[in-house]
Chains A and B, each alone.
Chain A
Amino acid sequence: MAMFWRRFCRNRLAFAGLVILVLFVVSALLAPYLTTHDPNKANLRLRNQPPSSAHPFGTDDMGRDILARTLYGGRISLSVGLVSAGISLVIGTILGALAGYCGGAVDTVIMRLADVFYSFPFLILAITISAIFGPSIYNTMIILGVLSWPGPARLLRAEFLKFKTTDFVAAATALGARPGRIMFRHILPNAFSPLLVSATLEVAAAILSEAGLSFLGLGVPPPAPSWGNMLNRARPLHILAGMPWMWIPPGLAVFVVVLSINFVGDGLRDALDPRQEKKDY
């Protein structure tokens, strides 16, 4: 573990990414303490105000405080990212493990199913489903989660195939361990590293997808703030040109968070896979 940590910290970008990420998560959690403004409190007398001491990031077209909306929006965007990645990981892990461990018909069916989901034009389908079931935070999480499980599933299946034939699994089987125990106690921990790396990338992808869906008005519905729907509101040219304070905070937030997650994922990959040490930084 100490070894892992040292490796990870040696990757400066990954370390910086982690620090920034922690900052974002903490500030989203502590949002009520960082700003006194209610993110949903409209004040029409204070519409479209540039940054000031009262509103450090300015206000939007309903006179709502942009700083507060960015902070609270972080809660929503980050949790959409985490939850949907979580959903896809849980589904992917279970199905991938089953496919890899059981093989045969089970493997065929699961992998065919993965192909079905993989052949979905992701965003078009997400748009279809979201439009149909109505945009909501939970629908967004579920759509993104359910549509992206084949990635982790394939990964885990490959790992399972690799470990299934190893001696220690054979030993465990000989000792009479039940398949469930073997799968989740013996093999899964070994597949942990690639899974963790893929998890970080899933989170990054989900945050971007949420922003994309909300940008089309099909993700997190107003008035709750999310980074994506804040960007959506900045679409008109006069805001883009004349009121950059409305889109810089959420735009930068998406960008920096996704960038940090990617750095962290990269760092994890290196730190967890000593063989590739020389290949990356």
Chain B
Amino acid sequence: MKKLLLPVVVFCLLFSAVAAAQGPVQGGTFRYALTTNPRGMFNPILNTEVYDGYINSVVYDGLIYIDENLEPQPKIAKSWEFSEDGLALTFYLHQGVKFHDGVELTAKDVAYTYKTILHPEYTGVRYGDFSMLVGAEDYHNGLADQVPGIKVVDDYTITFTTSEPFAPLLSQFTYGILPSHLLAHIPVGELELADFNRHPIGSGPFKFVEFLTDQHVLLEANEDYFFGRPNIDTLVFQRVAEDALPIYIRQGRVDYAEISPENYLEVSSIPGIDVYVYEALSYNYICFNMRQPRFADPVVRQAITYGFDRETYVEVLREGFGIVANAPIPMASWAFTSEGINEYPYDPELAAQMLAEAGWKPGADGVLEKEGMRLEFELLVPEGTRVNEQMALLFQQNMEEIGIKVNLVFMEFSAAVDRVDARQFDTFTMGWSLSVDPDPYGIWHSTSPWNDPGFYNERSDELLELGRRETDPAKRKEIYAEWQRLINHELPTMFLSYGVTIAAVSERVQGIDTEPGPLGPLVSLDKLAQIWLLQ
């Protein structure tokens, strides 16, 4: 038996080597596992669910796309340039790009797509991304019927203008371009009800075929794709039960799946499956309500951070899938810095000492007190994620050791968000997923509605304003480095860990990024147009 096996193995190896050497072959079906069902809003300016976005990103192409290093790269726009003053951004489009119905895509379609987002009756959620365009606000509020900030120069040239430099602007032009010839006649307020959204027509590498609710979305290769026909014939987003995902992978019924850390060992032991681990653009945290006097002193927040064993949290509870975070810009971003960042290593004695020096003394029940304030507070934990629950338990125990009493309140997610929005919390734990541009203004500026801790710091606001105006990347990096050091010292929230994503990919899939950056082995889904399958 053993003797027999060896030639077979060699043959297989040879075969796959030959296949690999042959280069891309056409054909086959690629199945991407989804544990949550897409909703069926296949319109890139109207969808809010991430899985609908998956379908949109292969049916439509944007002006640009973001590569594995998070750099903008040309797509429908073959190039672009900023004006001298950094206010005007001009895209030059490829000629001959065609929608799936054969009509050519021109600057008119681009203008339609972005003007619709600014329209007063627009029902989607992207207005905030482009509200800085010249005249956008007036148009959005119905005070003007044109947007001076969007100008079609000719069929293949379009210029977007902002009133002041806005550094993140370029990276936001990734949304798929809609065919205006099919949509312009529909009132913007009714666009979300259009049948088009269920039968999308874009210019992307795959044509939409069918959407079977709770089962799958089926797409086929676009034979006339401007950038070359995809190698795979069929692309399927297959819905799979979360509990059964490892079985699906083992049975070879899906080729690609994002898996949870607890399934890592199980899945990585499956023959024929490669598992990739990469940093995601996300982090989680415990937020302090700084409106409460007891959390107003940074020493308290720092001591709590020293007193929580975040290394154990990441190494044991997250099984090593994560990186302890100390500031809100993820490691994967170019703006990340570790220079001058305090890592707050676990040190309960230091924590206790800091609190004692700040005047906190144990009360009758051992809980620290100072001037009528007590270090007994609630931690609001959204239900449903096991690792959150474990983290909360660990936090509770660690805090008890330094004289702080934490009461855990588990709540269903929507209800928890309600409490946070009403600022009725002491502390809570959640996470943020971030966009490609590191601009933290939206979460951290004192005027932002999402500034949950109630953090106000003059210098921080100043840096955030500077940061989004600065178009020189090197200078911008400097600004964000200083800002990270400031946040790292102030700790309006305790940062827990940067997220990590785990992808399981069948070995028959060739042409993926085997050293994936934050966008994964398929670089969002961009690589789907190039991968091929061993037959």
Instruction: Report which A residues bind B (CB closer than 8 A).
Output: 40, 42, 44, 47, 61-62, 131-132, 134-135, 217, 221-223, 233, 235-239, 241
Contact = CB atoms under 8 A, between A and B. Distances in A.
Contacts of A222: 389, 410
A238 B411 contact: no
Interface in B409-447: 410-412, 415
A238 B312 contact: no
B246 interface: yes
Interface residues of B, number: 25
A38 B49 CA distance: 42
Contacts of A42: 390, 393-394, 397
A47 B390 CA distance: 12
B389 A238 contact: no
A164 B239 CA distance: 59
Given A42-B397, A221-B383, A236 B412 contact: no
Interface of B: 243-244, 246-247, 260, 262-263, 265-266, 312, 316-317, 383-384, 386, 389-390, 393-394, 397, 408, 410-412, 415
**Interface majority SS (helix, strand, loop, mixed), chain B:** helix
Contact of B384 (A61, A62, A217, A233): A217
B243 A237 contact: yes
A134 B316 contact: no
Contacts of A223: 389, 393, 408
Contacts of B263: 236-238
Given A42-B397, A44-B312, A238-B266, A135 B246 contact: no
Nearest to A43: B397
Given A42-B394, A237-B266, 18 more contacts: A42-B390, A42-B393, A42-B397, A44-B316, A44-B394, A47-B316, A62-B393, A131-B412, A132-B415, A134-B411, A134-B412, A217-B383, A217-B384, A221-B410, A223-B393, A237-B244, A237-B263, A238-B266
Given A42-B394, A134-B411, A221-B410, A235 B243 contact: yes
A62 B388 CA distance: 12
B165 to A, nearest CB: 46
Contacts of A62: 390, 393
Contacts of A241: 266
A222 B389 CA distance: 7
Contacts of A233: 386
A132 B415 CA distance: 8
A46 to B, nearest CB: 11
Contacts of B394: 42, 44
Contacts of A221: 383, 410
For the complex of A and B, 3 pairs with smallest distance between CB atoms: A221-B410, A238-B266, A236-B262
A47 B316 CA distance: 9
A132 B384 CA distance: 14
A62 B386 CA distance: 10
B262 A238 contact: yes
A44 B243 contact: no
A132 B383 CA distance: 12
A185 B112 CA distance: 80
A241 B269 CA distance: 14
A237 B386 contact: no
A44 B266 contact: no
5 contacts: A42-B393, A42-B394, A134-B412, A221-B410, A238-B246
A61 B261 CA distance: 13
Nearest to A133: B415
Nearest to B392: A223
A224 B508 CA distance: 46
Contact of B412 (A61, A135, A235, A238): A135
Contact of B265 (A135, A235, A238): A238
Nearest to B388: A222
B421 to A, nearest CB: 16
B241 to A, nearest CB: 11
Contacts of B244: 237
Contact of B317 (A44, A217, A237, A239): A44
A135 B414 CA distance: 13
A193 B389 CA distance: 45
Nearest to B412: A131
Contacts of B262: 236, 238-239
Contacts of B265: 238
A222 B394 CA distance: 13
A233 B243 CA distance: 11
Contacts of A47: 316
A5 B441 CA distance: 76
- Of A42, A44, A61, A233, most B-chain CB atoms within 10 Å: A44
Contacts of A237: 243-244, 246-247, 263, 266
A223 B386 CA distance: 10
Nearest to B384: A217
Nearest to A62: B390
Contacts of A132: 412, 415
Interface core residue of B260, B265, B410 (most chain A CB under 10 Å): B410
A135 B246 CA distance: 29
Contacts of B390: 42, 61-62
Nearest to B260: A236
Contacts of B412: 131-132, 134-135
Nearest to B265: A238
Contacts of A40: 393
Nearest to B385: A217
A28 B316 CA distance: 32
Contacts of B415: 132, 134
Nearest to A223: B393
B212 to A, nearest CB: 23
Contacts of B312: 44
A222 B415 CA distance: 17
Nearest to B415: A134
B243 A135 contact: no
Contacts of A131: 412
A44 B317 CA distance: 8
B336 to A, nearest CB: 29
A40 B260 CA distance: 25
Nearest to B397: A42
A132 B262 CA distance: 29
Contacts of A239: 262
Contacts of B266: 237-238, 241
B400 to A, nearest CB: 11
Contacts of A236: 243, 260, 262-263
A44 to B, nearest CB: 5
A217 B388 CA distance: 14
A110 B394 CA distance: 50
Contact of B383 (A44, A61, A135, A238): A135
Contacts of A44: 312, 316-317, 394
